[in-house]
């Protein structure tokens, strides 16, 4: 797939859908404004009703949701852009108040500690989730496949599985959140099974090099810890390298991991050589640090979040080394035009 540059728009939750998870027409303008990116990765999209963790986040499992996304992908393609859909299951990183009273599900009945989540009744501690049965886990794998097929139906150029940052695939992978005794728990091989099955099903369903995966090997957010990160990801990368995956989207650690020295502070130095596919690197990069990664070939692409949010013409600004707008944190989540499609162009 030819891309116009090595700049990727990172997935960013914007919480602007209706209560049915349907994106508004304004979303088409928002993404088409940023079609100068080599690749856009959409905000995280719930693969099923079960996947929902936060209010006003989009889905891709109903007819109306798919039709709304088709308007978005058409607008991006008319602007000569490329866009992948990020597929999302929040797992235990949700709350029953955001899920019609249903408890969140996870690999095991272990709650996220020390954090709170937004709900209609204000910020609340995370609840203890319900552990998925073996059969339910297999069904979630199929939900990912169906969501990928729906994304292609909606006109997306491909999909990215959100496999990191403490969401459901990460919850199966990590020791701290997975105490299962079935085929999806225990050994590194078993804890990796969920992710490997998802990517196997998706690549078989939508074709080679149309699916990527986002992983955060040093992430500790959402109570994610492991005693041997290198062993876990060495095995996972080895297995995923065998599949026709387009890229690995890796996150640098965004939160302090000083108390966990075995969680590497530089993901590319620790894991980059294990990856046999294209690498997109993410996590606090600017024009200069991104160029350094590309020039060194440690990564082939760099993704930018808040910089793309505030600067719809970010590639042009980088090319001219122009001034950058600052993102308004007050308008990042929810609302309408303000802080969404009204950031000035050069």
pLDDT digits (tens, 9 = 90+) for 160-211: 999 999 999 999 999 999 999 999 999 999 999 999 999 999 999 999 999 9
Predicted confidence (pLDDT) at residue 22 exceeds the cutoff of 70: yes
The pLDDT mean for the chain works out to 96
> Which pair of tokens denotes residue 266?
């530089």
pLDDT digits (tens, 9 = 90+) for 111-126: 999 999 999 999 999 9
- Residue 28 burial by Cβ neighbours in a 10 Å radius (0-12, 13-18, 19+): buried
CA distance linking residue 157 with residue 46, whole number of Å: 18
Domain count, the chain: 1
Q: Which of 11, 34, 120 is nearest to 311 (CA)?
A: 34
pLDDT at 261 over 80: no
Region for residue 118 given its phi and psi (left: phi exceeds 0; alpha: psi -120 to 50; beta: otherwise): beta
In the structure, what pLDDT confidence band is assigned to residue 256 with cuts at 50, 70 and 90? low
Label residue 96 by pLDDT band (50, 70, 90). Answer: very high
In a domain, 281, yes or no: yes
Per-residue pLDDT, 3 = 96
86 bridge partner residues: 44, 160
pLDDT at 205: 98
The domain in which residue 213 lies consists of 7-331
Q: Mean pLDDT across the stretch 134-160?
A: 98
- Name the E strands within the chain: 7-9, 39-46, 83-88, 105-106, 116-119, 122-125, 130-131, 158-162, 211-215, 247-251, 278-282, 301-304
- Residue keyed to tokens 């308004």: 328
Q: Are 264 and 218 in contact (CB under 8 A)?
A: yes
Neighbours of 77 (CB within 10 A): 15
Q: What is the CATH number of the domain that holds 160?
A: 3.20.20.70
Average pLDDT over residues 314-332: 97
Please check the confidence at residue 62 and state whether its pLDDT lies above 70. Answer: yes
Res 257 pLDDT > 80? no
State yes or no: pLDDT of 258 exceeds 80: no
In a domain, 270, yes or no: yes
Q: Is residue 341 part of a domain?
A: no
Global pTM exceeds 0.85: yes
On whether residue 109 sits in a domain, the answer given is yes
| Assigned domain for 25 exists | yes
* pLDDT for residue 339 is more than 90: yes
Portion of the chain with pLDDT greater than 70, in percent = 98
CB atoms within 10 A of CB 134: 12
pLDDT at site 265: 86
**Does 89 have pLDDT greater than 90?**
yes
Residue 231 lies in a domain: yes
231: tokens are 């062993």
**Residues near 273 by beta carbon (within 8 Å), at least 6 away in sequence:** none
Q: Would the pLDDT of 264 be above 90?
A: no
Within a domain: 199: yes
**In the prediction, which pLDDT does 270 show?**
93
Residue 1: inside a domain, yes or no? Answer: no
Give the C-alpha separation, 51 to 59, whole Å. 9
- Can you tell me the mean pLDDT for 90-107? 97
* Number of CB atoms found within 10 A of residue 321's CB: 9
């Amino acid at each position: 797939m030819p891309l116009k540059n090595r700049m990727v728009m990172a997935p960013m939750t914007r919480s602007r859908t209706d209560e049915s998870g349907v994106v508004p027409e304004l979303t088409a303008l928002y993404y088409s404004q940023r079609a100068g990116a080599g690749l856009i990765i959409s905000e995280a999209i719930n693969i099923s009703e079960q996947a929902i963790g936060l209010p006003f986040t989009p889905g891709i499992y109903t007819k109306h949701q798919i039709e709304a996304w088709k308007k978005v992908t058409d607008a991006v393609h008319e602007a000569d852009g490329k866009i992948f859909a990020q597929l999302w299951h929040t797992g235990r990183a949700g709350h029953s108040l955001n899920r019609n009273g249903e408890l969140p599900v996870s690999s095991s009945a272990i709650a996220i500690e020390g954090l709170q989540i937004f709900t209609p009744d204000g910020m609340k501690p995370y609840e203890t989730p319900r552990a998925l049965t073996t059969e339910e886990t297999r069904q979630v794998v199929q939900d990912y496949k169906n969501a990928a097929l729906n994304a292609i139906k909606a006109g997306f150029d491909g999909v990215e599985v959100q496999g990191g940052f403490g969401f459901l695939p990460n919850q199966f992978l990590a020791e701290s959140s997975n105490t299962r005794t079935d085929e999806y728990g225990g050994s590194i091989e078993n804890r990796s099974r969920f992710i490997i099955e998802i990517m196997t099903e998706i690549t078989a369903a939508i074709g080679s090099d149309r699916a990527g995966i986002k992983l955060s090997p040093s992430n500790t957010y959402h109570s994610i810890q492991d005693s041997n990160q290198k062993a876990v990801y060495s095995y996972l990368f080895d297995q995923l390298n065998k599949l026709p995956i387009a890229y690995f989207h890796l996150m640098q650690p965004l939160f302090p991991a000083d108390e966990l020295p075995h969680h590497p502070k530089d993901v590319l130095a620790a894991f980059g050589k294990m990856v046999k596919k294209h690498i997109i690197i993410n996590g606090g990069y600017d024009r200069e640090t991104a160029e350094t990664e590309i020039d060194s070939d440690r990564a082939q692409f760099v993704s930018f979040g808040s910089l793309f949010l505030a600067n719809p013409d970010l590639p042009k600004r980088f090319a001219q080394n122009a001034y950058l707008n600052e993102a308004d944190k007050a308008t990042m989540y929810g609302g309408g035009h303000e802080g969404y499609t009204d950031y000035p162009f050069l």
